[in-house]
Amino acid sequence: MSSIEQLAKKSLGQHWLHDDDSLRAMCEAAEVNPEDTVLEIGPGQGTLSVHLVQRAKHVVAVEFDRTLAAQLPQRLQARNLEVIEADILKFNLTTLPKNYKVVANIPYYLTSNLLRVLCESVNPPSQMALLVQKEVAERVVARPGQMSLLSVSVQLYYQASLGQVVPAKLFTPPPKVDSRILRLVRHKTPLFPDIDKKEFFRLVKAGFSSRRKTLRNSLAAGLRLDKKQIANFLDQAKLNPGSRPQELSMADWHGLCKVLTDTGKV
């Protein structure tokens, strides 16, 4: 086992990428330029940091691992690099300037929670390029027929697209699956400014509470309403009561939310 592999901590999901082409592709996916402040999450040994400090005005690298956080400023001496030892899920994003960007190789176990925190922040990033598990990246960009709570949650805030695949063999130690670059660009204006986000997500979570059930049944159970009521609401929203939650588009969820909000049922 190499010294690099020995340093990697399984509990923190550490898999380090040393492939320069892939690292450059991440920077390019976020369109990092000399005016940008970039938040890097889990910089590890700084292989991505090297590319970011060459492109950005300021790089804030948040590292949970105390040893790595202490070593990085010595490993990479750059005036525009600021290393902070912290848990990114508890990090105060309001300390960053507006329209900062995020470029990061994300531990797989952290992805869903991190996306939620970044999407819902009062100071959200304008763009992100995240290297995540290939399957997760593809779930985020899903279209009607393959939608999930994750895809709806992210697409409410960001335009999502896929970048290149990064094979597992390019990491040290190699994970069990391939990764893919997920590119997220914040909507310039709110996608649905006429709805309450808490009500919207209460509805969507109820819809996806039982993916194998019809929309009528899953909403009735999740919202604790009569199936006939739900069928009536779906009819008003011009949706088939027998459809599945994964078949709905963002516009479908918006329309249904409007119907239920108007009736005071959400």
Question: What whole-number distance in Å separates Cα of residue 230 and Cα of residue 47?
Answer: 52
Q: Where in the chain are the domains? A: 3-186, 197-262
The pLDDT of residue 263: 81
Q: What is the pLDDT of residue 266?
A: 61
Domain 3-186 shares a fold with domain 197-262: no
Three-class secondary structure of residue 89 per DSSP: coil
Cis peptide before 173 (omega within 30 of 0): yes
Tens-of-pLDDT digits for all 266 residues of the chain?
333 443 444 444 467 899 999 999 999 999 999 999 999 999 999 999 999 999 999 999 999 999 999 999 999 999 999 999 999 999 999 999 999 999 999 988 899 999 999 999 999 999 999 999 999 999 999 999 999 999 999 999 999 999 999 999 999 989 999 999 999 999 999 999 999 999 999 999 999 998 788 999 999 999 999 999 999 999 999 999 999 999 999 999 999 999 999 887 66
Nearest to 127 by CA among 163, 81, 95, 92: 163
Q: Determine the Cα angle at 122 with ends 209 and 183, to 5°.
A: 70
Residue 205 Cα distances to 37, 111, 151, 194, 245, angstroms:
34, 18, 12, 19, 10
What pLDDT, on a 0 to 100 scale, did the predictor assign at position 6? 39
Fold of 3-186: Rossmann fold (3.40.50)
The pLDDT assigned to 1 comes to: 34
Q: What is the pLDDT of residue 3?
A: 39
* DSSP secondary structure, 109-157, as one string: GGHHHHHHHHHH-SS--SEEEEEEEHHHHHHHT--TTS--HHHHHHHTT
The CATH class of 197-262 is mainly alpha
For Cα atoms 149, 150, 153, give the angle at the middle one, nearest 5 degrees.
80
Which phi-psi region, left, alpha or beta, contains residue 154 (left: φ > 0; alpha: ψ -120 to 50)?
Answer: alpha
Contact 261, 199 (CB under 8 A): yes
Query: How many residues does this entry show for the chain?
Result: 266
46 burial level (CB within 10 Å; 0-12, 13-18, 19+) = buried
